[in-house]
Amino acid sequence: MQRLAVLKGVFCDMDAIHKQLLIGSAVAAGGILLHMVYKRGQVKSIPLGEGWWGAGKKPLSEDDQIYPFEVETSEEEIEDLHERIDRTRYTDPLEDSCFQYGFNSTYLKTVVSYWRHKFDWKKQVAVLNQYPHFKTKIEGLDVHYVHVRPPHRANQKVVPLMLVHGWPGSFYEFYKILPLLTENQDGLVFEVICPSIPGYGYSDAPHKQGFDSLAAARIFLTLMERLGFSQFYLQGGDWGSLITTNMAQMKPLCVKGLHLNMFMSRRGLKVMLSLMIGPYLPFLVGFSREDVRRLFPFLEKNVWNILRETGYFHIQATKPDTAGCGPNDSPVGLAAYILEKFSSWTDLSNTDLVDGGLERKFSLDDVLTNVMIYWTTDSIVSSMRFYKENLKSNPDNRVDAKIGIFVPTGLAAFPGELMHCPKSWAQIRYRNIYSYTFMPRGGHFAAFEEPQLLANDLVQFVKKVEKF
């Protein structure tokens, strides 16, 4: 009280100009302080934007109902497939070439013979339909997804989770991990939504140019909102990794956690320096011994191997409609194009095996079901276009490259992944890494190859975030 009286006395003794100055600066300081507090509290995010991808003109209103969907097939579809398979022309492989020139056609004949005579599409359609499918219209496109609820039990925490696939995969990649995630893990269980990226499988393909990962992210956020989920977890690899990352950047308050099995961050001075110093003094640049083992020799592992394996990327990012004509018209062409990736992206050394090591990790039923999802929906061209749309402008200048990701993030680094990204690099973009795991085995198609390992890592991450 006394001090206040003294202050009041000083204030009264001041002349009018000084009083005004004092009040003015107090107001300004308060304003700046308030602004700083507001800025700190504000979560950085990228604008949602808008879009409409249907054919022709956008209607005034759109049906936002959710419809059950079932995968179907017919005798005509299967007959047409068999006729085309029977007319295939093959080219003999070069001597001793294994998979180095692409899919070895001698082995391809083995795969195709299985496809033609043993593979039972009707049975696989029943496998696909074992989980409930739905479709709903968003931004002019019918968006397809699988929705699996866990069995009801008392005292369990049900956590919503979206899993997003990539190319040349599909929602089917998750069929082995679904039962693991919807099964109670000490009181924690997931309710899982697996959508098809528009242009892939049973989701409509965009009719207009410009459908990139940001558009896919916005559509999937709308889907989660429509399903009534205000907060959820996301998991993805390949394009699914970029799409879920964009979702986390757009609505950070809705995304409780982001779990990725492919992630990149390889630009800037920090990365350059760590590449130069890393092999000699790894601890200085935050590399672990395992990082060094996976990254170096850098030119061999991360430049030449990448060049050898990414020709498809350049073609799809430039002339998808030309390159897609063949595989869209020939089932065997499509199978070779897709299954070559399931061979080499699982383990690069598979290219030195006569059969590409395809059946080491997968059954022919599984990989051919994925091929059939592309074949029966005519979606190889639209799936390839996604590369072009995402590389239309310099990726460094895209809005999502300029802002970090602040939601809790879990990273699973599989040893067979095409490019290794150390935690110290990932931290440049992902600012809130809760867990980073060097996975013991597995490659690019983590959920398809190692469902149990991926499920374990995802569960430990979510438990950490939930303080479970």
Ligand X SMILES: *[C@@H]1O[C@H](CO)[C@@H](O)[C@H](O)[C@H]1NC(C)=O
Known catalytic residues are 238, 387, 444
Residue among 133, 193, 139, 128 at smallest CA distance from 164: 193
Cβ at position 108, least distance to ligand X in Å: 8
Question: What does each C-alpha distance from 406 to 129, 265, 401, 463 come to in angstroms?
Answer: 37, 15, 13, 18
Residue 106 or 231: which CB sits closer to ligand X? 106
Contacts of 191 by beta carbon, 8 Å cutoff, 6+ apart: 147, 148, 149, 150, 158, 159, 160, 161, 182
Cβ at position 113, least distance to ligand X in Å: 11
Question: From CA 269, how far away is CA 249, in angstroms rounded?
Answer: 24
Q: Give the footprint of ligand X on this chain (CB under 6 A).
A: 93-98, 104, 106-107, 110, 354-355
Question: From CA 244, how far away is CA 229, in angstroms rounded?
Answer: 15
Residue 353 or 391: which CB sits closer to ligand X? 353
Cβ at position 351, least distance to ligand X in Å: 10
Cβ at position 100, least distance to ligand X in Å: 8
Residue 107 or 374: which CB sits closer to ligand X? 107
Residue 120 or 352: which CB sits closer to ligand X? 352
Residue 75 or 96: which CB sits closer to ligand X? 96
- For 249: left if phi > 0, alpha if psi spans -120 to 50, otherwise beta; the answer is alpha
Residue among 60, 112, 121, 65 at smallest CA distance from 86: 112
Residue among 468, 458, 401 at smallest CA distance from 435: 458
Question: From CA 35, how far away is CA 18, in angstroms rounded?
Answer: 25
Cβ at position 402, least distance to ligand X in Å: 47
Q: What are the backbone dihedrals phi and psi of residue 202, each rounded to the nearest 5 degrees, phi first? A: -90, 0
Structural contact between residues 211 and 386, judged by C-beta atoms closer than 8 angstroms: yes
